Amino acid sequence: MNPEIVPIHRKEYLREDGMLFVRTDGIVDTMVKIPLLVASMIIVAAVMPIQSSFSSPRTLDLIIYPDGSTHVSTEIDVDPLATDYELDLFGSTIDNLVAVGENDFLLDANILGDSALIETFGSSVISVEYDIHDLVSKQGKVWTFSLDAPSDFTLLLPKNSAIVGMTSLPINMEIINDKNQLTLSGGNVEINYLFSTPVVITDSPDVTDSTSQPDYFMYAVIGGVVTVVVIGTVVITRSKQKIAKPIQEQKSIQPIQEQKSIQPIQEQKSIQPIQEQKSIQTETIDIESIFKLKPDIREDDKEIVKFISNNGGEALESELRKKFLQPRTTMWRAVKRLERNGIIEIEKKDLQNLVKLRKSMEEEE
Kindly report, residue by residue over 338-364, the tens digit of the pLDDT: 988 889 999 888 778 899 998 765 444
Q: What is the DSSP letter of 300?
A: H
Whole-number pLDDT of residue 195? 73
pLDDT confidence tier of residue 37, bands split at 50, 70 and 90: low
Q: What is the DSSP string of 101-153?
A: -GGGPEEPEEEETTEEEEE-TT-SEEEEEEEESSSEEEETTEEEEEEEESS-E
Q: Which residue has the higher pLDDT, 53 or 241?
A: 241
pLDDT band with cut points at 50, 70 and 90 for residue 238:
confident
8 Å CB contact between 175 and 182: no
- Taking the CA atoms of residue 139, residue 143, residue 148 and residue 149 in that order, the dihedral angle to the nearest 10 degrees is 170
Angle between helices 317-324 and 299-310 (to 10 degrees): 120
Whole-number pLDDT of residue 136: 93
Query: How many angstroms separate the CA atoms of 170 and 182, rounded?
Result: 6
Q: pLDDT tier at 104 (50, 70, 90 boundaries)?
A: confident
**Mean pLDDT across the chain:** 75
279: pLDDT strictly greater than 50:
no
Class of domain 56-195: mainly beta
* Residue 8 reports pLDDT greater than 50: no
Amino acid 171: pLDDT: 92
Q: Is there a contact between 85 and 55 (Cβ–Cβ < 8 Å)?
A: yes
CB 241 within 8 A of CB 186: no
* From 150-159, 225-234, 303-312, the region with the lowest mean pLDDT: 225-234
Q: Which helix (H) or strand (E) is 78 found in, with range?
A: none
The amino acid at 180: N
> What topology is assigned to 294-364 in CATH?
Arc Repressor Mutant, subunit A (1.10.10)
Q: What is the mean pLDDT of residues 229-238?
A: 73
pLDDT on residue 277: 44
Range name among 49-58, 307-316, 318-327 with the lowest pLDDT average: 49-58
- Whether 56 has a pLDDT exceeding 60, the answer reads yes
> How far is residue 203 from each of residues 83, 99, 148, 320, measured CA to CA in Å?
57, 42, 45, 27
pLDDT band of 48, cuts 50, 70, 90? very low
φ/ψ (deg, to 5) at 23: -125, 125
CA distances from 349 to 292, 317, 318, 335, 353 (A): 30, 11, 12, 16, 6
Dihedral sign from CA coordinates of 191, 133, 140, 161: positive
Task: Give the residue-averaged pLDDT of 295-322.
Answer: 90
Between the alpha carbon of residue 206 and those of residues 201, 209, 237, the distances in Å are 11, 5, 47
In this prediction, residues 47-75 reach a mean pLDDT of 76
Burial class (CB in 10 A: 0-12, 13-18, 19+), 304: buried
The dihedral of CA 108, 110, 111, 112: what is its sign? negative
pLDDT band at 203, cuts 50/70/90?
Answer: very low
Residue 4: pLDDT band with limits 50, 70, 90: low
Residue 284 — very low, low, confident or very high, per pLDDT cuts 50/70/90?
A: very low
The neighbouring-strand residues paired with 125 are 77
Angle at 236 between CA 234 and CA 237, to 5 degrees: 60
Strand partners, 118: 85, 109
> Could you state, in order of their start, the residue ranges of all structural domains in the chain?
56-195, 204-281, 294-364
- Above 90 in pLDDT, residue 13? no
Smallest CA-to-CA distance from 102 within 119, 124, 74 is with: 124
Mean pLDDT of 143-164: 92
Report, as an integer, the average pLDDT of 51-77. 82
Residue 295 pLDDT greater than 50, yes or no: yes
